[in-house]
Structure 1
Amino acid sequence: MPHTLRSDARDNRERILHAARALFATEGLDVPMREVARRAGVGPATLYRRFPTKQALVTEAFAEQMRTCRSVADEGLAHPDPWLGFCFVIEEVCELHARDRGFTEAFMSAFPDAMDFAADRAGAVRAIAELARRAKDAGRLRRDFVLDDLILMLMAHRGIHAPSTAARVAAARRFAAFVVQAFSASAEQAPLPPVPLLAPPARVFEGRS
């Protein structure tokens, strides 16, 4: 009997996470917890027993995506050409966020109690900051680029709406191409306006490049 109960608990947990990922990916993080429970085929009590808060559910639901984001940043940093590595990160992050609408909100949220999530995000940000520094030193990334510009990018990217995931990804790839061109160093570029105050989301990017 104990083994059966543990198996049922694992099945419920996986159903909840599967439902949460599907809903967050298409609807964002505003989906009510009761809707997650309904989609998972479990009662609200079961949902709250496994995940007492929405933060706990979001953190676990996007744990794999956050690890992927960290891996993308590390892969870009390992590229022998820092500018191409930087472009790779922009393109991959845009596609990752296009496939999971809720992940943009999750990535930009503070989640102070989600230590693993926050640690992976901080590691990704540090890798991108170092990559940006190298790309600037190579003369390929515009000198007035700062990490807060990535917040602007994600905010703008979050506004992409399309009838399907495939269309959203296609739009994200075009958007990324525009962003890469905007970030590229060019003698003809006019200086950017001052860096805007984007707190609290800007806390995600504590360093400046």
Structure 2
Amino acid sequence: MNKQQPQHIPIDSTNPHSIPRGLRADARRNRQAVLHAAQQLFAREGLSVPLDEIARQAGVGPGTVHRHFPTKEALYLAVSIDQLETLVAEAAALADGDDPAAVFTLLARMMANGAENSAVKSALAAAEFDLRIVAPEVATALTGHVSDLLNRARTAGLVRDDITVEEVMALVAGAFTAIHHANTQTDPGRATHIAGIILDGLRPRY
């Protein structure tokens, strides 16, 4: 089945993962506050939380939320892309460092992010939205950083020689499912434990 195309999502149609053009500074701050509040509420209370409650948590009026995100579908997508962009920034910072084990730090953060946002990711999957299609530049940037960090760890002898970046990204996606299946989304300790088991599989076998 073909993935749905993102054109009907009310985000900048030429670059759907960017902040809409022409926003004033206060409007940008409001938009980011809404995204932050939505991410927290979706993680804590599920996807049924009303948009008006998101507005209250963000400290803005309901009309502000509706102007930026006329539908919940648009908000789900924007929350996911915002989180992905945050991961790219974290990955870039790790890539600029010299820690040979940084790939484990990044992958653990990616798995934790997936656990925190599992409800939103499930909603997008059900609607057949693929972030690799909706926000290809961001997804490609994250994969590129993972690849660089993986190569650094491999050179240092910290990961298996037979691991590819495609396999690593597949393991991260699988970790979301494992954490969700174990009902540990609201238990960071158990979610971290599951992520650790998965990451141990990347280490060399002696």
What is the TM-score with the length of structure 1 in the denominator? 0.60
2:154 corresponding residue in structure 1: 136
1:92 to 109, 112, 117: 109
| Unpaired stretches in structure 2, ≥5 consecutive residues | 1-23
- Percent identity over the alignment is 24
1:175 corresponding residue in structure 2: 194
1:157 to 179, 182, 196: 179
| Unpaired stretches in structure 1, ≥5 consecutive residues | 1-5, 188-209
Contact 1:140 1:185 in 2 (8 A): yes
2:83 corresponding residue in structure 1: 65
- Write the distance in 2 (CA, Å) between the matches of 1:169 and 1:143: 30
Q: Which of structures 1 and 2 has the bigger CA Rg?
A: 1
- Write the distance in 1 (CA, Å) between the matches of 2:75 and 2:124: 14
SS in 1 for 2:201: helix
What is the TM-score with the length of structure 2 in the denominator? 0.61
Task: Evaluate the alpha carbon distance shift between residue 79 and residue 53 of structure 1 in structure 2; reply closer, same or farther with a 3 A threshold.
Answer: same
Q: Could you say what the CA RMSD is over the residues aligned between the two structures, in angstroms?
A: 3.9
- Write the distance in 2 (CA, Å) between the matches of 1:22 and 1:92: 16
- Write the distance in 2 (CA, Å) between the matches of 1:75 and 1:107: 28
1:23-172 aligned at under 5 Å gives the runs 23-28=41-46, 31-32=47-48, 35-37=50-52, 40=55, 48-82=66-100, 84-102=101-119, 104-105=121-122, 109-111=129-131, 114-115=134-135, 118-145=136-163, 146-147=167-168, 148-162=170-184, 164=186, 168-172=187-191
- Write the distance in 1 (CA, Å) between the matches of 2:183 and 2:105: 23
Offset from partner CA, 1:32-76 (integer Å, 9 cap, x none):
5x8334554677x87554323434212333454223211222233
CA-CA distance at 1:21 after TM superposition: 2.2
1:185 corresponding residue in structure 2: 204
1:3 corresponding residue in structure 2: none
SS in 2 for 1:69: helix
Offset from partner CA, 1:147-202 (integer Å, 9 cap, x none):
322222232233343495xxx22122222321221110113xxxxxxxxxxxxxxx
CA-CA distance at 1:90 after TM superposition: 2.0
